Amino acid sequence: MPKSSLYFLIAILLIVSCKQKVEKTKPVVSDISESVYASGIIKSKNQYQAFATVNGIIENIFVSEGDSVNVGTPILSLSNVAQRLGKENAELSARFSDFSANQDRLNEAKLLIDLASSKLKNDSALYFRQLALWQQQVGSKVDLEQRELAFQNSKTSYYSAKVRYQDLKRQLDFSSSQSKKNLLISSKLESDYTLKSEIDGVVYDILKEKGEQVGLQTPLAVLGNREHFILEMQVDEYDIFKVQKGLKVLVNMDSYKGQVFEAIVSKIYPIMNERSKTFLVEAEFVQRPETIYPNVTFEANIILQSKKQAILIPRNYLINDSLVIKGDGQKVIVKTGLRDFQKIEIISGISAEEELLKPTE
């Protein structure tokens, strides 16, 4: 056979072979859901890192990982000798300055008022008696002036005793109140050296050990709720406007391969992370795993819409989102609807029985 005929035959066979390799399909009638992909981590509800409000050295740790705690349960304590001595000094000052402890001083001042009052009454009576005698031209002017001077001195002493009493009472009131407030401040500062739980929950992690020096910016423990968990998802900026509160979320975790858990979108944070170009979206489990821990990763689909018994074709059979190729090679305009990662809904343009050809590259 001539070479030219051989080449022609090979070319024909290649063309026929290529035509035979054109992929075909028919639409299927099935359910479809349009969703937004998201990934993230699971956190315990109210989960937080606990920080000290003072500098110090860890003296005691009162709990272990996994322990249940209530609001106010001590987690650990820090040591500070100066603060402890300051509180003891405040206690001494409060006892010394306590109003009831100085009642004797007030009683003494009150007694002086009573004595001055009695002397004033006596000197007053003597003065007015001498004045009456003087008006009857009995006695000397010197006697009258002496009685008057004694009366005025007694009056001054009486009012001075009253002023001293009021001043002493104000001073004792002030000292007592001030020392009590100083003791409260010292007690509050001392309580700052004990880290306490802010929630009813569980201790997930103790981040430091006894004897370590810690500061204000040092996280000491991680606490959270034992029963309730939040799914924190990162949603791309191109998809965030489709997401709304209340949408269903289907969750997949490596820890539970092959299982899908349902959640509901509960919160959308209205600011984008500039680094990742994503928005933080929270969801809460409707159906949750029996056992779960914080910081477990997951992948999720946020269901935007769903439809039952829709006519579906593979997405790679669609040209420019509007054309398909029928089995006879004719291109037909179609109207599309919902789509997922593999399939797309055909609303009109073809029927479920028609054969379609896959577009060539």
Task: Read off the pLDDT band of 21 (50, 70, 90).
Answer: low
Q: What is the DSSP letter of 288?
A: -
- pLDDT of 356 above 70: yes
C-alpha to C-alpha distances, 218 to 52, 304, 358, nearest whole angstrom: 7, 42, 60
- pLDDT of 16 above 50: no
- Region of poorest pLDDT, from 87-96, 164-173, 197-206: 87-96
Instruction: Calculate what percentage of the chain has a pLDDT beyond 70.
Output: 84
- pLDDT of 11 above 60: no
Average pLDDT for 212-227: 88
- pLDDT of 33 above 90: no
Separation of alpha carbons 94 and 89, rounded Å: 9
Separation of alpha carbons 338 and 315, rounded Å: 11
Other C-beta atoms lying within 10 Å of the C-beta of residue 151: 21
- pLDDT of 350 above 60: yes
Average pLDDT for 176-190: 66
User: φ, ψ for residue 267 (rounded to 5)?
Assistant: -160, 140
Average pLDDT for 266-286: 93
Separation of alpha carbons 175 and 307, rounded Å: 78
Separation of alpha carbons 222 and 73, rounded Å: 14
Q: Return the higher-pLDDT residue of 249 and 330.
A: 249
Separation of alpha carbons 300 and 222, rounded Å: 26
Q: Return the higher-pLDDT residue of 190 and 56.
A: 56
Q: What is the pLDDT of residues 56-102, one digit of tens each?
A: 888 889 999 989 999 989 998 887 655 565 555 656 666 666 656 66
Torsion of CA 248, 253, 259, 260, to 10 degrees: 0
Predicted local distance difference test score (pLDDT) of residue 101: 63
Instruction: Calculate what percentage of the chain has a pLDDT beyond 90.
Output: 25
Predicted local distance difference test score (pLDDT) of residue 349: 77
Say which amino acid occupies 280: L
Q: In 3-state terms, what secondary structure has residue 336?
A: strand
CA atoms within 13 Å, Cβ hemisphere of 48: 10
Q: What is the pLDDT of residues 286-313, one digit of tens each?
A: 988 888 889 899 999 998 887 787 778 7
Predicted local distance difference test score (pLDDT) of residue 80: 66
**Residues paired with 251 in a beta bridge:** 261, 300
Separation of alpha carbons 281 and 38, rounded Å: 9
Say which amino acid occupies 77: S
Average pLDDT for 315-322: 79
Predicted local distance difference test score (pLDDT) of residue 222: 93
Predicted local distance difference test score (pLDDT) of residue 194: 84
Predicted local distance difference test score (pLDDT) of residue 302: 92
Task: Tell me what the pLDDT averaged over the chain comes to.
Answer: 81
Q: What is the pLDDT of residues 89-143, one digit of tens each?
A: 656 666 666 656 667 777 888 888 888 888 888 888 887 888 888 788 777 888 8
Separation of alpha carbons 57 and 357, rounded Å: 74
Burial class of residue 310 in the structure, from the number of CB atoms within 10 Å of its CB (0-12 exposed, 13-18 middle, 19+ buried): buried
Query: HEC string of 10-75?
Result: HHHHHHHHHHHCCCEECCEEEEEEEEEEEEEEEEECCCEEEECCCCEEEEEECCCCCCEECCCCEE
Q: In 3-state terms, what secondary structure has residue 287?
A: coil
Q: What angle do CA 160, 161, 163 make, to 5 degrees?
A: 65
Separation of alpha carbons 263 and 260, rounded Å: 10
Assess contact for 338 and 55: CB atoms under 8 A. Answer: no
Q: Return the higher-pLDDT residue of 290 and 204.
A: 204
- pLDDT of 9 above 80: no
